Structure 1
Amino acid sequence: MAKQLKTPARATSPSTNKDAPLKEDIRLLGRLLGDVLRDQQGEAVFQVVENIRQTAVRFRREADVQAGAELNKLLKKLTKEQTISVVRAFSYFSHLANIAEDQHHNRRRRAHLLAGSAPQEGSVAYALEKLHGAGVTGAAVRKFFKDALIAPVLTAHPTEVQRKSILDAEHEIARLLAQRDLPMTAKERAENTERIHARVTTLWQTRLLRYTKLTVEDEINNALSYYRMTFLRELPALYEDIEGEIAEQYPQRSSGGNTYRDLPSYVQMGSWIGGDRDGNPNVNADTMQLALARQSTTILDFYLEEVHALGAELSVSTFLAGVSPEVNALAELSPDTSPHRADEQYRRALIGIYARLAATARAFGAINILRQEVGPGKPYQAATEFSSDLLILVDSLKARHGDALIKPRLANLLRASEIFGFHLATLDMRQSSDVHERVLGELFNRAQVESAYASLPEDKKIELLLAELNEPRLLYSPYIDYSDETNSELAILRTAQDIRQRYGSRAIRNYIISHTETVSDLLEVLLLQRETGLLRTEANHGSAGAGELMVIPLFETIPDLRLAATIMEQVMAIPLVRKLIAKQGDLQEVMLGYSDSNKDGGFLTSNWELYKAETQLVQVFNNAGVKLRLFHGRGGTVGRGGGPSYEAILAQPAGTVNGQIRLTEQGEIIASKFSNPEIGRRNLALLVAATLEASLMPHPSDSKHTKKLAEFENVMDELSELAYQAYRDLVYETPGFTDYFFSATPIAEISELNIGSRPASRKATRRIEDLRAIPWGFSWGQCRLLLPGWYGFGSAIEQWLAQGENKAKRVAILRAMFAEWPFFATLLSNMDMVLSKTDLAVASRYSEMVVDKKLRNSIFKRIVGEHERTSSCLTLINGKKERLANNPLLARSIKNRFAYLDPLNHLQVELIKRHRTEMRDGKVDERVRRGIHLSINGIAAGLRNTG
């Protein structure tokens, strides 16, 4: 808040002037927040905020013991009302700083474009230029786009902290802030400032938190807001950008035409929200129906709006420009018979299209069509019919000198219809393998086929499942009563079939099996599909089998990842399965879990086991003649597979991408990436660029490179084993570690927070094994240790260096791995970022909440020691004493946040201490709980990738 909440002084550098507008924006937003705080809470509260900020800065900069004591005193003196106000002030500053940074990223990109700079790394133009330079032909690029599937999949999880009301207010602040880069009169600038002030006031007077438990319906609606903000317009626009960039880099074409509109929709959206029932009892057949109904309403509302706007724009008269017979035919089907539009066939055709869309929306259950259609229309049976009608308009305009009329709206609407259909996004289904086992066990038992299915050895399970798949009759009988779980699971599968028939086959096409550990886990889902009509086999249909849903294994833990290739080799060798894969276009998807493997084995081992599993899967799939598509279950934190998507995709082992990739986008990362439309388009472009490069850039294959890579991989095997031992020894083998974790982090308070529909733990225990990986990582982020993103690395490097006689030679190998191997470089880059956000001084305050002093000192001392080892080993390898030395912009961003982030951490500790004391005394003050939850929100916003 300008003078009141100052940005910390920054050292001058060549980029200082470039960052001056960012500092100006942060000062403006800080000043306005300070004004709002004074207006709403009074001068006394404002001064309290300033005193806390200044003392926290002194505590950080000088490691001043006296400052720590003063801070404790200040925090303890706060009344409960003051505490809430202080937490809100610092939380909102984190939110506003994010808006300013996003705007600055947009500003810098525009500056590059205006200066005519070379394409920036991560852009599609850069990827195409790089490919062209490497000798990749235009034909190869076009084939890539023809065959590719790149799918970001939005998921809900228990660290989603943004309310839609907050998102809307922040979206408007971002828009107003962007306006300030335009030339403005003094009056216009003053009015703009007043409007931002009003929006900041709106933020202050709007609840940051939900006071009621978040439902699946809330999660569905929250996700759909990003489609309205970003995806509906930015994704079709991205296609247009890419078509232009391909034409510029590869202008020669073997056939006529000047666009690449013949390319299919290679970027498609996915969703788990409403279909992911693993560990979430609130997801069922009804939520799947609700998800598709809401998705369909969202996209049809968009189409109706765009078609209405087109009707206003395409005022072409047949007296001045002709139309095709097909447009005339559409016009004749229109309910519009007004003589005033007798010569406006495009308008009449669009009025007819609008009527058909409105009828389609009503057929899907819509009751509030914003604009009443002129007359009745026949509902579209499929989205392809709608696309065909739009294409008729495009072809007619193109053939009659109307190209200029296509691009502004019609081209993007046509592309949107191809991307989103009437379903908007593909809804994945997910359930745990143990649920499938229980359901089939009951079906087998009630059908008197097998009374103890779950107890059978694996080979007998496979034998029974394959025999049953070849039986013409069903296990299920409508005349037998089943458990609620069995009825629910079968109802879900039947609903999936109904949804596909209603909204199209792309609405639901994937079934993911969590905790896949055996071949029978996949066969069980095939049999459940057979039971509900989703799978047709030769036995029950007399023809070659076909499955409507692709059955996708999810390998999550370290042991599961090690078995992934073996399981897939065995399952693809089964004739029935191989026939089904052939019907899928000889393509099979495999999902890899980053979160659970990290919680299970630590950062280094998780990443290495994922890498090895991928390379082994590539070999197995190549031998089977099947194309592999990997689905990366990445979270927001580095400890859950997060970090920059571009670098992560390029670091994939050779042969693992091949134009096919799906990856999850989760929690607050969705807001970070997609709440700003321009940044959203760039993040989508990053996925395309990285997939393009990873798929088509030639990989060195000479014997020297192969030998060196083998050496690097052998070293990683040794490092991984050492890191695994260090991590497991702390987390799973140290007596009292669970007590330390539950005391020294806000995990208990996070579990109470109304930010997700899913429980934080799979079982009602305090065992870390049962805790979900998401709140596990989120808790470590809140206390500023971010332990899942680095622990074990330092011990592994130190021990490995000590094992050899020639330490200098071993150091040289590590440095070569960092310089020459993208996988290792990305691993260290992500860890560098995590370490830059780690703060031992702040974390020490959290450790004070551990009542057992001996336990506290013992474990925290080990964590501090490992942090020091990891930092020094990272410096040894990359040669940089300062964290993020190769990314000064991010380093400054993180450093500038600490002055506002640290007070939130200190306040959170104080509030948790109060709350836990009150809990022990049987008294719970809702104001204290609210303060804790507000601090969780602010810290998550400040760190940006903690979930």
Structure 2
Amino acid sequence: MSLINPEATPSKDLPLRDDIRLLGRLLGDTIREQEGEAVYEIVERIRQSSIRFHRDEDETARRDLETTLNSLSRGRTNQIIRAYSYFSHLANLAEDQHHVRRSRAHAMAGAHAAVAPAPREGTIGRALKLLREAGITQADLQALFAKALVCPVLTAHPTEVRRKSTIDREMEIAQLLAQRDRQHLTPEEKASTEEALRRAILTLWQTSILRRTRLKVIDEVVNGLSYYDYTFFRELPRVYASLEDQLAAIDPAWGNMELPAFLRMGSWIGGDRDGNPFVTADALRQALQLQSKHALGFYLEELHCLGGELSLDGRFVNVSEQVQELAEASPDRSPHRQDEPYRRAISGMYARLAATAQALGHFDVVRHPVVGEAPVYTDAEEFAGDLMTLHVSLVSNGSAALSRGRLRKLRRNVSVFGFHLASLDLRQNSDVHERVVAELFEKANPGTGYKELSEEGRVALLLEELRSPRPLTSPFLDYSAETASELAIVHEAAQAHRRYGQASVPNYVISKAGDPSDVLEVALLLKEAGLLRPREGEMHVNIVPLFETIADLRQCSKVMDALFGLPDYMRLLRSRGQAQEVMLGYSDSNKDGGFLTSGWELYKAEIELIEVFKRHDVGLRLFHGRGGSVGRGGGPSYQAILAQPGGAVQGAIRITEQGEVIAGKYSNPDLGRRNLEILAAATLEASLLHSGQSAPRDEYLQAMEELSDGAFRAYRGLVYETEGFERYFWESTVIGEIANLNIGSRPASRTNSRRIEDLRAIPWVFGWAQCRLMLPGWYGFGSAVNAWLRDHPDSGLALLQEMYREWPFFQALLSNMDMVLAKSNIAIASRYARLVEDKDLRDAIFPRIRQEWEDSIAKLLAITGQQALLDGNPLLARSIRNRFPYLDPLNHLQIELLKRHRAGDADERVVEGIHLSINGIAAGLRNSG
């Protein structure tokens, strides 16, 4: 069974076709062997009918599909769903390997060509080339690196339901594909590799792809830690090494200069309690401990291997006095190593690190014998200092090459991960802070009436309390469970600072921030835990307001302006390097105002923030709350960073990595390194090449304002102002079934209501993706452009075409919409619409959606000049086109199962089938949640 259409394939993509055919054949063989020829024939029949239906909504194909699907038994249905789901997952692996293959082919072409080809977009090589051509000096770069921070932040918002067991098998398949690709195999070796692939696929088929129980917070932490083993421990040092070596090759003045640890990892897993009652102080403590344990366990293993490698004999090489001192201080007295100072020094370091791990409660990470007792390291910097001692000695005594291997990587790991691994953010909703602070004031001084105060009154009261060194809380008072829990969180954060250092919990994010008092309330809670010291004017945690609705985005610059106008807050901010982080929410702003308006309001908010921060002489660091899908701010990271307004990226950027995007980007180490490199390269370019670029032309800004107004009216008119739309959404999508899926510890809605306003952005976007409408990624665009052209009949289209050619923001906006519309399927969406029981409601809404879909595609093509969607990205176009015959049947099967389930069929196999189809469709679409 083929996984790819037999159309003409460009020669460079032939290996992709071959890989997909190989995996498809092996999976087809597995299905035949395990389930029988009859199941395989049904899979083929459904695929052929699906192709006919997809091509032109062929009614005969629809009837054939319905006849076939309705005749399937419950057990047989799930077999078919599993088959198509695995086709999607295997196609993803083949495509990932092809991306790696093309990157390697480009690199090898440069190595063998007389004239090296230009570095590829998004690489460090290209970024450095552009900087050099622009006249950026070494001093400019050093100044940037000294303050830079590039931080992908992993979050526990999974929209995939796969278990780690299946991900591990998929990684095995990916490694076998890479092995076939990179080695010249003998016939025997080739057969052996194919047999290993066959075993891995058989294991996948015989392993449950779904979780039987809902994940707990700690399960999410453990899953997140897997990506350090897959990618971050190994590949982050390679990114740094590549950057340092390329700088030295360009300019000898860089010499052996080492860059500060500007590229770091962040996490929300275990600290994000906005709407998640399971994130408690105990969960935070466990998350931090698991992170630290993971880091120290890795260091101990690497240190042990390093000791095995550095067998240098002191009789043959010179050794620095500092290394001799480490060797003498070591409890290692083995006569076999008396002339091996590096090994003795490393044995002592291992003993100290093992003692440190024990002191932090990591009792099972020491896997090798410890030579004797040794004092603990006070912090990661002290351990890094000992590693530096080894490095300096090797470099100074003719062994510099030895310092560039495992030691270099370990030193970089320690500088990046410390003893805490990843910076864990706290997050909570401002409504919770308001209730907690109100209770604290009322308990301390009954009659304060904090909630009834004006904003000015709240600010005055909060500032007065923040100036006082005495605590507001008392051990002799009883507090509500909510208040006690919030206080326990900040006290646990303070404990983390003492155990792992301030980098362990450096940020506190405030959801639904709308006033200066929202920030000051958190400052008050930090003060209660000793994380803010009034007399010294010190604040040990960054307070990060998150602006996420359209109204909040429009007000955020005024809020920050008022906050910076408070001398007390500015005094605290100076202790944070006179820099302030602001988080912008893509998901909720999209759900609130639609794709076009969300993108435009985010862009305008950044421009206004840049001006406010400049006026107050405060450094701006933006934290982009992007999801996996375009409807939640997703899309290519490189283009997204460069599309920011000039001055928005001041050497520092943090970006959330959510849902299936984490696995897609970071489970494959080669792709993981590529994605980390993209973040670093884009930040360099945006900071040094685009920081002073002029604002877009007034005509562009005015056009976007009018387009946004039109899109906003169309989107709000459908989603929030159409009677019965809420019911239409719940009945025409799998949102109800998603809410019951074991995809994470967080509930799907913030409350028990079914209101769109209360629904989280992830299931909102995910529901539309499953029914193949992708509505949050495009709705309103067609109406907006139609209105614009009516108002500007002479030159309106020409201006939009010019904006697309000249303005990176508009290019990125339309490019992302292009991808989303290409993945949509109005024919399949029409079948989901038939799930709505009220025919009048269905007939009132779906034709509007269809018309907007058609208008949006037509206007997108007119502006971009394309003849069809994704004309400018043929590889992605082929990928999507090749997936449809295997993706579409999952939708049709899901619809039939939804009908049965909603008709009262209580068979657990029906629910399981729905959940399997959700997984398969998400895999086929890739960036859907």
TM-score normalised over the length of structure 1: 0.96
How far off its partner does 1:212 sit?
0.5
Q: State which of 49, 65, 71 in structure 1 corresponds to 2:43.
A: 49
1:454 aligned partner:
451
Deviations 1:149-173 (A, max 9, x none): 0000000115142321111111111
AA aligned to 2:173 is I
1:633 aligned partner:
625
1:941 aligned partner:
923
How far off its partner does 1:645 sit?
0.4
AA aligned to 1:312 is G
Distance 1:361 1:868 in 2: 61
How far off its partner does 1:853 sit?
1.0
Q: State which of 51, 58, 75 in structure 1 corresponds to 2:52.
A: 58
How far off its partner does 1:493 sit?
0.4
AA aligned to 2:706 is E
Contact 1:5 1:50 in 2 (8 A): no
Contact 1:158 1:758 in 2 (8 A): no
2:520 aligned partner:
523
1:740 equivalent to 2:728? Answer yes
1:491 equivalent to 2:526? Answer no
Q: State which of 636, 646, 667 in structure 2 corresponds to 1:654.
A: 646
Q: State which of 866, 869, 884 in structure 2 corresponds to 1:898.
A: 884
Q: State which of 930, 933, 941 in structure 1 corresponds to 2:912.
A: 930
**Which residues in structure 2 correspond to 1:718-737 (within 5 Å)?**
718-737=706-725
1:268 equivalent to 2:260? Answer no
Distance 1:864 1:486 in 2: 49
Change (3 A) 1:914 1:5: farther
1:11 aligned partner:
8
AA aligned to 2:598 is S
Distance 2:202 2:98 in 1: 23
Q: Deviating runs (4+, > 6 A) in structure 1?
A: none
**Which residues in structure 2 correspond to 1:16-95 (within 5 Å)?**
16-95=10-89
Contact 2:700 2:803 in 1 (8 A): yes
2:601 aligned partner:
609
Secondary structure of the residue that 2:513 maps to in structure 1?
coil
Deviations 1:400-430 (A, max 9, x none): 1101111121001001100000000000000
**Which residues in structure 2 correspond to 1:216-231 (within 5 Å)?**
216-231=217-232
2:292 aligned partner:
296
**Which residues in structure 2 correspond to 1:406-445 (within 5 Å)?**
406-445=403-442
How far off its partner does 1:292 sit?
0.9
Distance 1:455 1:50 in 2: 67
1:690 aligned partner:
682
RMSD, aligned α-carbons: 1.2
Contact 1:160 1:756 in 2 (8 A): no
Deviations 1:8-46 (A, max 9, x none): 12235xxx1110000100011111111111121111111
Q: State which of 83, 88, 99 in structure 1 corresponds to 2:93.
A: 99
2:572 aligned partner:
580
**Which residues in structure 2 correspond to 1:101-116 (within 5 Å)?**
101-116=95-110
AA aligned to 1:370 is R
1:559 aligned partner:
551
Contact 1:284 1:488 in 2 (8 A): yes
Deviations 1:201-227 (A, max 9, x none): 111111111110111011000000001
Contact 1:915 1:928 in 2 (8 A): yes
**Which residues in structure 2 correspond to 1:511-550 (within 5 Å)?**
511-538=508-535, 544-550=536-542
How far off its partner does 1:62 sit?
3.9
Change (3 A) 1:367 1:162: same
AA aligned to 2:778 is W
Deviations 1:445-487 (A, max 9, x none): 1112544211222111111111222234322111111111111
| Greater displacement, 760-769 / 42-51 | 42-51
2:790 aligned partner:
802
Distance 2:17 2:604 in 1: 44
Secondary structure of the residue that 1:808 maps to in structure 2?
coil
Distance 2:658 2:692 in 1: 34
**Which residues in structure 2 correspond to 1:141-540 (within 5 Å)?**
141-181=141-181, 182-249=183-250, 251-253=251-253, 258-261=255-258, 263-368=259-364, 369-538=366-535
Contact 2:428 2:509 in 1 (8 A): yes
Secondary structure of the residue that 1:728 maps to in structure 2?
helix
Contact 1:158 1:757 in 2 (8 A): no
Contact 1:156 1:667 in 2 (8 A): yes
How far off its partner does 1:700 sit?
7.1
AA aligned to 2:920 is G
Contact 1:151 1:663 in 2 (8 A): yes
Secondary structure of the residue that 1:662 maps to in structure 2?
strand
Distance 1:680 1:260 in 2: 25
Distance 1:450 1:584 in 2: 35
How far off its partner does 1:51 sit?
1.2
Change (3 A) 1:699 1:576: closer
Secondary structure of the residue that 2:794 maps to in structure 1?
helix
AA aligned to 1:670 is I
Distance 1:403 1:790 in 2: 55
Secondary structure of the residue that 1:590 maps to in structure 2?
strand
AA aligned to 1:238 is V
Secondary structure of the residue that 2:482 maps to in structure 1?
helix
Secondary structure of the residue that 1:512 maps to in structure 2?
strand
For structure 1, which runs of at least 5 residues remain unmatched after alignment? Answer: 539-543
Contact 1:163 1:222 in 2 (8 A): no
Distance 2:600 2:652 in 1: 21
Q: State which of 733, 748, 758 in structure 2 corresponds to 1:760.
A: 748
Q: State which of 677, 697, 706 in structure 1 corresponds to 2:669.
A: 677
How far off its partner does 1:616 sit?
0.3
Secondary structure of the residue that 2:903 maps to in structure 1?
helix
Contact 2:169 2:204 in 1 (8 A): yes
Distance 1:335 1:241 in 2: 37
Change (3 A) 1:6 1:523: closer
Secondary structure of the residue that 2:315 maps to in structure 1?
coil
**Which residues in structure 2 correspond to 1:771-810 (within 5 Å)?**
771-804=759-792, 807-810=793-796
For structure 2, which runs of at least 5 residues remain unmatched after alignment? Answer: 111-116
Distance 2:256 2:54 in 1: 56
Distance 2:313 2:53 in 1: 73
Deviations 1:527-586 (A, max 9, x none): 111122211102xxxxx3111111110000000001100000001111111011111111
The percentage of aligned residue pairs carrying the same residue is 56
Deviations 1:328-378 (A, max 9, x none): 111112121111111000011111111111111111112222223122221
Distance 2:605 2:691 in 1: 19
Distance 2:698 2:691 in 1: 15
2:844 aligned partner:
858
AA aligned to 2:359 is A
Deviations 1:507-531 (A, max 9, x none): 0010000000111111111111112
Deviations 1:603-626 (A, max 9, x none): 000000000100000000000000
2:114 aligned partner:
none
Contact 1:162 1:668 in 2 (8 A): no
Secondary structure of the residue that 2:503 maps to in structure 1?
coil
1:541 aligned partner:
none
Deviations 1:766-786 (A, max 9, x none): 100000011100111111100
Distance 1:133 1:200 in 2: 49
TM-score normalised over the length of structure 2: 0.98
Contact 2:646 2:690 in 1 (8 A): no
Distance 1:698 1:602 in 2: 28
How far off its partner does 1:392 sit?
0.4
Secondary structure of the residue that 1:384 maps to in structure 2?
helix
Contact 2:765 2:774 in 1 (8 A): yes
